[in-house]
Structure 1
Amino acid sequence: MQGEQRAGTFSDPPPWPMRIMVLVLAAMAAPALPAAVQAALDQPLAALGWVLLLSAAATLSVVADPRSRYEVTLRAPIAIGACVALAPPLAFFVNLVALVSLVEIRGRPSPWMAAFNHLQFALIAGLTSLVVHARPLGPVAGAVLAVPVYDLTNLAVVALSRRLRERTSLRAAFRLVAAPFPTFASNFLLIGLLAVLTVVLYTEVAPWSLVLLAGPVWLGYSALRSARDASDRAEELAARVRELEVLNELGSSLLTARDAAVVARLATSALRAICADHAWRARITVALDGRLPRDLEPWEVPGTGALVGLPSGLDQRRRMEAETVCSAIGMALVRLGAERELGESQRAQAALAGQILAEGTAARGRVALRVHDEVLPYLAAAQIQADNVLAAASAGDLALTSRLSTAVRDAVQGAIRTLRRVLDDLQRQIIVPGDLVPSINRAAQQARLEHGLTVGVDTDDYHHRISHPTEILLIETVSGLLANVLQHAQASYLSIRLRSDQRAAELDVFDDGGGFDADRVGPGHHGLELMRQRVALAQGRMTLDSAPGEGTKVRVVVPLGTAGTPAPQARTGSSRSRPPRKPNSERVVHSGE
C-alpha cells in the first residue's frame, strides 16, 4: 500500500526543514525531467493509460492510523507495475503527473506538501525502475525485486518527512510509520502480490487485461476498508477507555495527595499515558514554578501559577483530555493551598488561645495580689480597730470608743471601694462568646462618662460572628488603643468602626489628637508593638497612620479562616461615627505609644 498523509495534517505550511527537503527533491528531479517528458511524447497512449490507472488506484484509500491521519492507497502495486513494465524515464513521468490521493481533490493541502508527494513518488519510481532494468530480468523476478526497493525507499522518505515535520527522532519516526508491524508486513506482502499480478497481466497477456483487476480489486478494497474501519473503531474505543481509566485513576489519586510535588508527578504520569504514542511523551512535564522548555507548548493550570508543558500538534481529543488534567491539577493545588491556610489559621488560633489563657492566668494572679496588697490591709486594720473598740467599750471610755468605731468604719469602706475596683477590672477581663459589640460599647461609654471623650461606634457592617479568641483579641486591642488615646493623644473625638464578612474582620480606630511620629517613639512605649504581635499570632495585620498634629488611625485586619456565622442583630448603645479621614500613608507598626 502507498503511504500518504491526509489534508487535515498537510493543510498548514510545513516547517522550514521540510521545505528544504522539498527543494532538495526538486533539485534531484530536475535533471530527469526532460527525458521523462520526451518519453511521454514518444509513447502518449501508454503514458496516458498509466496516469489514469495510477490516479484511479490512488482514490482507493484506507486509513492506517486514525490518530496521525496516516492512510494507505492501492497506488503502490500499480506504481511498482509501472516500474517493471515501463522504462525509467516514463515510470518517472507517470508517477510525477498522476494523482496522489483524493486529498488533492477533497481538501486543500499545502503546495509544499503536494509537491513533496509528487516528487517523492516520481523519484522512488524512477530509482526502482533503474534498479529493475539494470540487468535483464523476467517480469515476475523484476516485480519481486521492485517491491522491497520501492517500499523500503518509500518508508525511509516518509519517515524522514515525519521527523522534519514533527521534530522527533528518526528512530521514533520509523517506528510510527511502520507501526503496528503486523499491519505493515501484511501490506508489504499484499503489495508484492498485486504488483506481480499487475506486471504479469500487462506483459504476458495484454495491457487492457489490467481492467480485469478492477472487480476483484474493488471487492478486496471494500472488504479491507470495512475491516480496517471496524478495527480502527475498536482501537479508538479501547484507547478512549484506557484514557478514561487514566483520568479516573488520576482524579482518585489527587484526592488523597498531600503535597504539590506528588500532584505534579501524578499528573505528569497521566499525561504521558494519554500521549503514549507521541514521540515527545517523555518530555511532558508539570512545572509548579511556571518554567518550561521553550519547545513545549505551555498550558495554564487554572487558579495557580503552574504550567503544563505538552508537545504541539496534539489532536482534539487529547487536547480535551489535557485540559481536563490541567483542571484537575488546579483543583488539587487549590485544595492543598486551602488546607495549608486552614492549618496555619488553626495553629494561629490555638497559639492565640494559649496566649490568652496564659494572660488570663496571669491576670487572676494580679487580682489575687491586689486583693492581698490592697484589700486585706484595710480588713486587717478594721479587725485591729474592732478589738480596740471592744477594749474601750469595756473600759467605759465613750469618746475613745466613738473614735475607734469611726476608724473601723473608714477601714471597711476603704476595703469595699478597693474590692469594687478590683471586681470591676476583673469583670472587664471576662469576655463571653458573642460579647464583642457590647464590650466595645461598654468601653466607649466608660470613656464618655469618666473622661468626657466623644466616642462614635459603628458596627452596622458587622455581619458574621467570629471565633471567641479573635473576639478577645479585638476587644483587648480596642481597650489598649482607647487607653493610649486617653493617656497620650489629648483627643476630643474617637471613632471605632467594626466590619466583618466571610473572609476577615476589620477594626478601624481613629482619633483627632496630636498624633505622633511612629519612627521616633521613645523607649519604654511598647503598647502598640505588643498589640501588633498579638494580631500577627492570629495571621492578621495591624497598620498605623499618624503624623504630628494630624491624629492617628489604626487598622486591624484578622482573617477568619472559615466562614463565620451571622452576627446578632441587636446592638446596645451603638452610634454612627463620622467617617475616618483618608490616611496619608500606611505602614506596619514597629513601635507604639
Structure 2
Amino acid sequence: MRRWWRIAAVAGPVLVFTLTSQYEIWVGPLPLLAGTVSDPKLVMSAVAAAISVGLAIRLRYPLLALLLAMGLFGLKPILNHFFGKGPDLNLFEAFLSQVFIVYSTAAHTTGRRAYAGAAMIVAFQLIGYGPLLPGALNQAFGEWVFYAISWALGKTLRYRELRGDRLEARTAELEAQREEQIQAAVTDERARIARELHDIVAHSVSLMVLQAGAARQALDREPEKARTPLLSVEAAGRSAMSELRRLVSMLRQPGQEDELSPQPSLCHLNLLVAQMREAGLAIDVDESCTQDGIPPGVDLSAYRIAQEALTNVLKHAGAAHVGLTVRCDGAAVEVTVEDDGRGPSADGSLLGGHGLIGMRERVSLFGGHFEAGARSGGGFRVFARLPYEPT
C-alpha cells in the first residue's frame, strides 16, 4: 500500500500538469485558469514536456528537475534579446509545478546541494524578472512569497525526516545495546549458577564418595566402624540437598533472595574444616579474619574458593597435610591453600578442571589476583586475593 501511495504522489502531479498544459497549448485556455501561450505551439509543447519530466524526477534528481522547470524563465530575457520575443508559457499549472519542484528540492537536498538549489532559484528569478523591474515587482513578489513558503515547508519536512531517522537509529542502537546487556547478564548468570552448582555438587559428592569408600572398607573388617563414615555421607548429602534447594528457589523466585536461607560465608569455615577432617584430611588452619566490613559477595567468594581448593586436594592431591590460611587486612581477603601432595601432572597441566576456572572467575569479578601452581618443595598452592571497600 505504501508503495502505491508513493507512485501516486509522483505520477499524480505529472499526469495533471501534462493533461492541462497540453490541452491549453493545443486547444485553448481552460475556464478559471485563463493561461496564455505564445507561438510556435510545438516549441511550447516541448517546454511543457520538459516541465513534466522535471515533475517526474523531482524526488530523485531535484536539481535537474529545478533546471528543467525554471530554466526557461531564466533564459527568457536572453532569448528575447537575440530572437525578439521568445517563447512564453504563462500557465498557472506551470507556476504550480515550479512551486512543487521548489518544495521537493528543499525536502530532498542537504548541504551543498541545498545551497546550490537555493542559488539556482534566486538566479533564475533575478535574471527572468531583471529587465521587467520595477514594473513587475508586484507579480515577482507574489511568486517569490510562494517559493519561499514552499522552500520553508520542504526544509521543515526534511528536518523532521532527519530527526526521525536519528531517533530511529538511536532507538535501534539502544535496542542493540539492551540485547547485548541482556545477553551479557544471561551469560554472567549462567556462569554464576555453574560455579554455585559446581561448588555445591563437587564438594559434597567428593566427601560422600570418600566416606562411602571408607564405610565399604570398614564393613569387611570392622563393621561397627562403618557407622561414622555413613553418618558423614548422610550429612554431606543433606547439606548438598539444602544448598541445591536454596539455589533452585533463588532461580524460581527472582528478587526474593533475601527471604531464602543465608549463603555460606567465612564464619562457616570451621564447619567446612570439620567436614574435611572427617574425610581424612589433616588440616592446619590459620584464620585471623573477622567478617566486619566485608561485602557479602567477597565473603561468599572467599568461602567458595577455600571450599573448592580443599575439595581439589581431597580429590586429586593425595596429600597428607594441608595448610589453610585466611587473612583480612581491611582492604582485601587473602585465601591460601597449600598441600604436600603430588602437585601438577607430569606434563605440567593443572588438576582441578572447572574448579580452578571457577575460582579464577570469582577472583576476576572483584579485580583481584589469583595463583595456582606447583609449590616449592613439592605439592600444590592456591592463592586468591579479593580486594574490597569496607561496608
Q: TM-score, normalised by structure 2?
A: 0.45
TM-score by length of 1: 0.32
Larger Rg: 1
